[in-house]
């Protein structure tokens, strides 16, 4: 499976059993600069979704075989956070609340204007971009966590080693004091220093919290 976002391209998938509807929506998306693929039913849509991640899926609710809500449920087993806009010409059969509670990002009723479709797509793309930006600091914390955990494990192994090899405590302590700075922009955070302190204690050296020089 491939992720369209990795290449920087925003790709849409249009799922509707009507060729005319697929053509109209596809043309609108291309006018706004969004490449798209088309599927005539749920099976075809899931086959495409299995192969790649789409930024947004525009899916008709009422279709032969699998309905749109069933397609969305199956697609979420492949890409858990793939956004869906559900499309229907039968607004009396499906309320906005029902569709949103099922997990869709939005709901649009045929016929709709180009501007209405563009606004809904733009909002979802913006929300997703902001969510990804907010995730970056957390992802950096996770990477730092893994790095520090690995070094901590090594420090513990060194402290328990029975090889007869001598490690100068002052040299090891100096190395560990420098570690938070070497790991980048988290050097001043309590998060990184807490791990550094634990590593120092693991080998019997003085924790960083006991001297201001460790935080310089």
C-alpha distances out from residue 120 to 42, 58, 195, Å: 22, 11, 45
| Rounded distance between C-alpha atoms, residue 72 and residue 61, angstroms | 10
Do 200 and 166 meet the contact criterion of CB atoms below 8 Å apart? no
Nearest C-alpha neighbor of 87 from the set 49, 117, 129: 117
Answering whether pTM is above 0.85, one says no
Sheet (strand 84-88) strand order: 36-39, 12-15, 56-60, 84-88, 106-109
> Could you report the per-residue pLDDT of 146-187, keeping only the tens digit for each?
666 665 565 555 555 555 555 566 656 665 665 555 555 444
CATH class held by domain 2-112? alpha beta
> Could you report the per-residue pLDDT of 8-45, keeping only the tens digit for each?
467 899 999 999 999 999 998 988 888 999 999 999 99
Cite the residue boundaries of each domain of the chain with CATH code 3.40.50.2300: 2-112
């Amino acid at each position: 499976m491939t992720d369209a976002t990795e290449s920087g391209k925003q790709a849409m998938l249009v799922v509707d059993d009507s060729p005319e509807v697929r053509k109209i929506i596809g043309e609108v998306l291309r006018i706004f600069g969004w490449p798209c693929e088309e599927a005539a039913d749920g099976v075809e849509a899931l086959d495409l979704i299995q192969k790649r991640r789409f930024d947004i899926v525009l899916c008709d609710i009422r279709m032969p075989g699998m309905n749109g809500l069933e397609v969305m449920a199956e697609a979420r087993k492949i890409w858990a956070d793939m956004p869906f806009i559900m499309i229907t010409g039968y607004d009396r059969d499906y309320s906005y609340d029902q569709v949103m509670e099922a997990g869709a990002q939005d709901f649009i009723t045929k016929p709709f204007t180009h501007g209405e479709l563009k606004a809904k797509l733009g909002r979802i793309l913006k929300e997703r971009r902001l969510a990804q930006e907010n995730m970056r600091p957390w992802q950096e914390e996770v990477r730092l966590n893994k790095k520090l955990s690995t070094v901590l494990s090594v420090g513990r192994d060194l402290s328990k080693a029975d090889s007869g090899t001598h490690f100068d405590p002052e040299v090891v302590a100096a190395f560990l004091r420098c570690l938070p700075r070497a790991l980048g922009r988290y050097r001043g955070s309590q998060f990184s220093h807490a791990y550094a302190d634990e590593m120092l204690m693991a080998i019997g050296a003085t924790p960083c919290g006991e001297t201001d020089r460790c935080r310089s």
